[in-house]
Amino acid sequence: MSLDTTETLISDSAPAGPRAATPQADPAAIAGSSGPVGEEPGTPGPPRAEPAVAESAVDATAAARGSDAPAPQPVPRPAPGPVPARSAVARRGAARPARLLLRGATKSVAIVALLALWEVAPRLGLVDATFLPPFSVVAQDWWNLAANGQLWANTQASLVRSLSGFGLAVVLGVPLGLLIGWYRPVADLLGPLLELFRNTAALALLPVFILLLGIGETSKIAIVLYACTWPILLNTISAVREVDPTLLRLARSMDLSPFRLFQKVILPAAVPTIFTGIRLAGAVSILVLVAAEMVGAKAGLGYLINSAQFNFAIPDMYAGIVTIALIGVLVNQLLVAAERRLGAWRLPARGENR
C-alpha cells in the first residue's frame, strides 16, 4: 500500500468536526407573516376578524387549567319523568266504558244462551210448544198484558203486599237481632223460641194465618213478615257475635261507653252481614207472596199465574213468571246499591280488585 492511500484512509476514519448551525427563522418574522404562501416573510397580509367569544372561552379554559379548580363537567340532561297522573287518569276514564261494556256482555252470555235455547227448543220440536211456547210468543203476550193494564194491576198488588211485609220484617228483625246478639240474658230468654219457630216453614202456617186474620190482605202481609223475619234476625245475631275481638278490646281500652261502643264498633262491623240477611229476605218476600196469592186472592202475580193455568192460557202464565223474575232481580240490585252506600268504608278502592 502506498503512502497516499494510507493518508486517504486515515482522513476518512477521523471524527467529523462540528457542523455549521442551521439558520433558524425569526419568530417575529413568522408571526408577522400573515400573507399567503410564497410571499416574503415580513409582508403583512389582510387583517383577520377573530371572534371575541372564542377568545374569552379560551382564556377561561386556560385560567381554569392553570388553577387548581377541576375542569368543567358537562351538565347532564334530565331524564324523562313519569307520565303525568292526569293523563293516566284520563286513559283510565276513557277505558272504563269499554270495561263496563265487556263486563256486562260477559254477565249476559248465560242469559242470552238460555233465551236462545228457549226460543229454539219448541220450534225444533225438542219440547211441546203447547206447554212451553217460544220466548218470542211469551214476550208478545207479556207486551199485550202490559198494554191492557192487567199486568200492572197485578204487579202493583203484589208489590204492596211484598214491600209491606218486607219493611216490617226489617224494622222488627234488625233491632231484635242486635238485642239478642249483644245482650246474653236476652239471648238465653228468647233462644228456645227461636229454635222452635225457625224450623217451621212459612207456607205450613198459611192456613193458620188465614184462620186467624182472614183471607184478605192482612194474612198475606203477615205470612210475608213471618218468612222475611228469620233471615234478617239470624244474620243480625251472627253479625253482632262475630265482631273482631281485637276491635272490642281496643275500644274498651279507650274507655268508650257501652252506647258509643255499640255505635262506633258493633253496628258498623255488623252492617255487611245484616245486609246479607236483608237481601235474602227480599227474595223470600216475593217467593212466599206468590205462593200465598194462589190461595184466596183476587189480584196479584200469583193470582195471575194460577188463573192462567186453570184457563190454559200458557203464555200468560209464563209472562207472570218472567215478571216475578224481573222484580226479583230489580229488588236485589236496589239492595246491593243500598249496601254499597251504607258500607262504602268497608269496600276496597275502585280499581284495586277489579
Give the predicted TM-score (pTM) of the model: 0.65
Query: 334 in a domain, yes or no?
Result: yes
- Domain interval for residue 289: 162-340
- Amino acid 321: pLDDT: 93
Query: 237 in a domain, yes or no?
Result: yes
User: For the residues 97-109, what does the mean pLDDT come to?
Assistant: 75
Query: 125 in a domain, yes or no?
Result: no
Query: 30 in a domain, yes or no?
Result: no
Percent of the chain residues past pLDDT 90, beyond the cut? 25
Check which CATH number belongs to the domain holding 313 and give it.
1.10.3720.10
Query: 228 in a domain, yes or no?
Result: yes
Q: Are 129 and 149 in contact (CB under 8 A)?
A: no
Query: 42 in a domain, yes or no?
Result: no
Q: How many domains does the chain have?
A: 1
- Amino acid 140: pLDDT: 93
- Give the model confidence (pLDDT) of 264-292 as tens digits: 888 888 888 898 899 999 989 988 888 88
Query: 27 in a domain, yes or no?
Result: no
Query: Comparing 262 with 47, which gets the higher pLDDT?
Result: 262
Query: 143 in a domain, yes or no?
Result: no
